[in-house]
Amino acid sequence: MRRGPGTRLSVLLAVLLVLLLASPASAAPGTAAPRPTADPAAPTPTAPPPGGPPQGSGPGGVTVGGERLGTRGTVVVDGAPPLPDGLAAAGWLVADAHSGDVLAARDPHGRYYPASTLKTLTLLTLAHRLDPAAVVEGTVEDEAVEGSRVGMVAGGRYPVSLLLEAMVLQSGNDAANALARAYGGTEATVQAMNATALELGAFDTVAGTPSGLDVAGQSSSPYDLALFFRELVADPVTAAVLTTPLAQVPGVEGRSPGFQIQNENPLAGYPGGLGGKTGFTDAARHTFVTAAERDGRRLVASVMGTENRPLRAADQAALLLDWGFGVPPSLGGVGTLVRSAADVPAPAPAAAPTPSPVAPAGVAAGPAATDGDGPRGLWAAVLGTAAVAVVAATLTGRRRAVRRPAPAPRGRRAPPPTGTAGSRSRRR
């Protein structure tokens, strides 16, 4: 369900208030560290983190979705049938998209490199903030972007609606780059993506690029990918993008003939499938997120940090969906997918420090904590400024928001060759 601008703004303000209350200045020693950030200037990661990814949490260290989801291992709802064989991924989750019940998960809040599954957040962020009829001109930068490309060329003119499809159908990093430029640049787009993630309660996610190409500090989790995809399939506009079978890329005279692209979702034929998004980079390995509906019940599944053998990420997701549809809804879940950050409980207030004995006259005492001029006041000022900036950016984005119509059905034609893909970020 899409929320109105007023409600979404209220949620953002609530998130910022929670973050302020859980900041290092007001939190007790030993609570969660400040929210991590991505660093595009740092060396690009080329392999998964040794020892596995860090574990994410909500403000003040709370476990989003329930304490049972704080595990680094596997957790399954009581009374469910045995899990299927072949689940080799380091992190995965399957949940009921309607009730939010998490049926089973492994390392659900592990902060993995997301690869191109991060494009689900890009789509969620930009689909209603850009005019679908607006035309974006291709650039040399689009042509040279790293990784998988749909085949944009400098001087080509591409509608936003086509670029959204190209970003999803063939994981075009050039399309993601062009969409970010249309929104105001990579920095503005990444800021909007992170604001969207916070609004949804996706505290494990830190966006550093619109495409999902590896950046130090960038992350998402099986839990957060499920949040994003649940939102996408619930919105008719983005749901239509996910299931578009074909799209036509216009030619550019003297540079490129027109050509057709196809949806590369490996589970396109899955019964009741609602779309899927693949991802692969050296640091993320293979990732995948998908959803399906049968007999009025809708499930979402995400898989992160796996190899293609013995089973592809998409095949493992299919196993999770098959298993999930066999779990009676009456069993409930081991946790829940939150609807927004407002559903995440605030951290418990820190216990008041034990008063120390009064120091003898002439003995120096430590500096007292202050709310106005000391460190606590400084943190409040910094976070207050951040709140104003995020809200201003959100309002700017809302002024641009345009409801785009669902794409018209397309006829199927034999596809000519599509755009190239770099070996480092090829999507399968």
pLDDT of residue 147: 94
Counting residues of the chain whose pLDDT is more than 70, the rounded percentage is: 74
Report helix, strand or coil for 422: coil
pLDDT of residue 425: 39
Q: How confident is the model at residue 315 (pLDDT cuts 50, 70, 90)?
A: very high
User: Looking at the predicted structure, is the pLDDT value of residue 370 above 70?
Assistant: no
Query: Is the CA virtual torsion 122, 123, 129, 134 positive or negative?
Result: positive
Active site residue 10: no
Q: Which of 23, 26, 116, 211 is catalytic?
A: 116
CA nearest to 166, candidates 427, 403, 402: 427
Could you tell me the domains of the chain? 5-345+376-425 (3.40.710.10)
Q: How confident is the model at residue 372 (pLDDT cuts 50, 70, 90)?
A: very low
Active site residue 171: yes
List the structure tokens of 398.
């809302």
Distances from the Cα of 284 to the Cα of 118, 169, 274, 280, angstroms: 11, 20, 24, 6
Better-predicted residue by pLDDT, 374 or 315? 315
Contacts of 217 (CB under 8 A, 6+ apart): 36, 37, 38, 39, 42, 206, 208
pLDDT of residue 254: 87
Report the run of H or E that residue 104 belongs to, with start and end.
strand 101-106
Tell me: is residue 277 an annotated ligand-binding position: yes
Q: What is the mean pLDDT of residues 213-242?
A: 98
CA nearest to 158, candidates 171, 173, 139: 139
Q: Which of 23, 26, 57, 119 is catalytic?
A: 119
Least confident residue range of 15-29, 248-262, 309-323? 15-29
User: Looking at the predicted structure, is the pLDDT value of residue 54 above 70?
Assistant: yes
- Average per-residue pLDDT in the chain? 83
pLDDT of residue 33: 56
pLDDT of residue 227: 98
Q: Would you give the distance in Å from CA 172 to the centre of its chain?
A: 17
pLDDT of residue 346: 86
Better-predicted residue by pLDDT, 243 or 350? 243
Contacts of 348 (CB under 8 A, 6+ apart): 60
- The alpha helices in 119-261, defined as continuous H runs, are 119-126, 140-144, 160-169, 173-183, 186-200, 222-234, 236-242
User: Looking at the predicted structure, is the pLDDT value of residue 349 above 70?
Assistant: yes
Q: How confident is the model at residue 8 (pLDDT cuts 50, 70, 90)?
A: low
Q: What is the mean pLDDT of residues 180-198?
A: 98
Better-predicted residue by pLDDT, 92 or 256? 92
Q: How confident is the model at residue 362 (pLDDT cuts 50, 70, 90)?
A: very low
Better-predicted residue by pLDDT, 13 or 108? 108
Q: Which of 57, 148, 161, 171 is catalytic?
A: 171
List the structure tokens of 34.
């400040």
